Amino acid sequence: MDPLRPLDPARLGDHIDRLYRAAVGLCGSHADAEDLVQETYVQVLRKPRLLRSDDDLGYLMRVLRNTFYSRYRSEARRPRSSPLEEHEEVIEGRAGAHPADAAEASEVLAAVAALPEPFREVVAAVDLAGLSYREAARALRTREGTIMSRLSRGRAQVADALGYTS
Amino acid sequence: MSEQADLDRERFAVAALRSVELRAPVRLRTRIEAERERARRPARRRRFGLGGALAGATAAAAVLVALLLPGGAGGPTVVEAAELATRPPTEPAPEPGRPKLLATSAFGLPYPDWAEKFGWEPSGRRVDELDGRRAVTVFYEKDGREIAYTIISGEALDPPEPSAAARREGTRLRYVTDDGRTIVTWKRNGLTCVLSGSGVPATKLLDLAGWKGLGAVPF
């Protein structure tokens, strides 16, 4: 069994970008995603945490997902009056990136946000946050086989939404 | 669609998804840094032991404790067991186990997994010695609130007196509320269980305490 290890608050900042991507995929809104990520950190920082595995991001993803379901899901189900807006930070840090990339990223994130929940959370965890299948299974409280199956179906729906033709 | 076509479609999606290099806005980083700074400040939460808790309690709390002294079973009082809820966990959150149960138990009694049904996620565990009895506590969290579920070894403790009575799924429960803190106690297989939390309605705690998960949670 892995030894116990306190979660180091100083290292939590390393995961903000990946959590934020997952949050936008879950919420379908940059404003809601910001609130969701902040609330996730507030909950995690509220007291010292002990982890057995070296999986800070997976733990954060688990808290983020639980917070989303308890606070934001009902709002996420409401029809949106406008599509996912473009975001000025999308191309930040990408040398030579074309502004069109930002619009493209918004389309991809909107496609994720439109997925049914079981597929959305898996795509957000694996493809947007970058968790492994195993980490995602722990974070989402399911089996690796379920993760792989939902991921495949979720990706297929994303491809269709983006206009993929064989 | 052929297997190869499925694979191509999935590859297309993966390429699109992984090309998203969205970064968190600076204002979010600033907000989180402020939260981290706030968390670094000394906690105001009680961290003293049971002796200190009783010695330093307010007059109102002292009255409550006087009302809740044990009636003869020996060992700690239910209120003392509930006081463990104010201490921090010393072990990580238990993982899910068999359906509707966590992969942790005390004296042969598994703890319920309330995540799916009620949204309460396990957040930690601790083991204490109280008046010669072992007390195993599992903490649960939801929406920033925390509750603690303690199982105490040995002969069942007397319920607090006076306390209200309720019944859930055939289980008789007793509960007291004081200053926003609710303490529920009941028996599982002859052992005393205590569930307590602040800012959580008594009805919610009673529902959790009596939940049997369609027979998955042994009583």
Q: Does some domain include residue A143?
A: yes
Q: Does some domain include residue A36?
A: yes
Query: Considering CB atoms only, which of A48, A70, A87 is closest to B22?
Result: A87
What letter represents residue A104's amino acid?
E
Q: Does some domain include residue A166?
A: no
The domain tally of chain A equals 1
B119/A105 Cβ within 8 A = no
The CATH code of the domain at B61-215 is: 3.30.200.100
Query: Considering CB atoms only, which of A20, A88, A152 is closest to B10?
Result: A152
Q: What pLDDT is stored for residue A101 in this prediction? A: 54
Find out whether A36 and A27 touch, Cβ atoms under 8 Å: yes
Domain coverage including residue A122: 5-161
Residue A93 has pLDDT above 80, yes or no: no
Q: What pLDDT is stored for residue B104 in this prediction? A: 93
Domain range annotation of chain B: 3-40, 61-215
Q: CA nearest B137: which of B96, B56, B192?
A: B192
Q: Which among B3, B6, B9, B20 is the top mutation candidate for probing chain A, defined by the most A β-carbons within 10 Å of its own β-carbon?
A: B20
The pLDDT-based confidence of A150 (bands split at 50, 70, 90) is: very high
A158/B36 Cβ within 8 A = no
Q: What pLDDT is stored for residue A94 in this prediction? A: 39
The answer, for B119 touching chain A at a CB cutoff of 8 Å, is yes
Average pLDDT, integer, range A100-111: 76
B96/A141 Cβ within 8 A = yes
Q: CA nearest A129: which of A112, A107, A110?
A: A112
Bridge partners for B182 per DSSP: B177, B197
| pTM of the model as a whole | 0.61
Q: What pLDDT is stored for residue B87 in this prediction? A: 84
Q: What pLDDT is stored for residue A128 in this prediction? A: 94
Q: Does some domain include residue A49?
A: yes
ipTM of the complex: 0.80
B121/A38 Cβ within 8 A = no
The answer, for B15 touching chain A at a CB cutoff of 8 Å, is no
Q: How would you classify the pairing of strands B109-112 and B121-130?
A: unpaired
Q: What pLDDT is stored for residue A75 in this prediction? A: 54
Output the domain CATH number for residue A147. 1.20.140.160
Q: A163 to chain B nearest CA, in Å?
A: 10
More confident site: B106 or A46: B106
- Tell me the pLDDT tens digit for each residue of B113-163: 999 899 999 999 999 888 888 899 999 998 888 999 999 988 888 888 888
Q: What pLDDT is stored for residue A102 in this prediction? A: 52
**Using CA atoms, how far apart are residues A2 and A126, in angstroms rounded to an integer?**
23
Q: CA nearest B216: which of B95, B56, B109?
A: B109
Nearest chain A alpha carbon to B24: A17
Q: B158 to chain A nearest CA, in Å?
A: 33
pLDDT in tens, chain B (219 residues): 678 888 888 999 999 998 888 888 888 888 888 888 877 765 444 333 333 333 333 333 433 433 343 434 567 888 888 888 888 888 888 988 888 999 999 998 999 999 989 999 999 999 988 888 889 999 999 888 899 999 998 888 888 888 888 889 989 999 987 666 789 999 999 899 999 998 888 889 999 999 999 999 999
Q: B213 to chain A nearest CA, in Å?
A: 18
Q: Which residues of A touch B40 (CB under 8 A)?
A: 9
Q: B76 to chain A nearest CA, in Å?
A: 27
Q: Which among A14, A16, A54 is the top mutation candidate for probing chain B, defined by the most B β-carbons within 10 Å of its own β-carbon?
A: A16
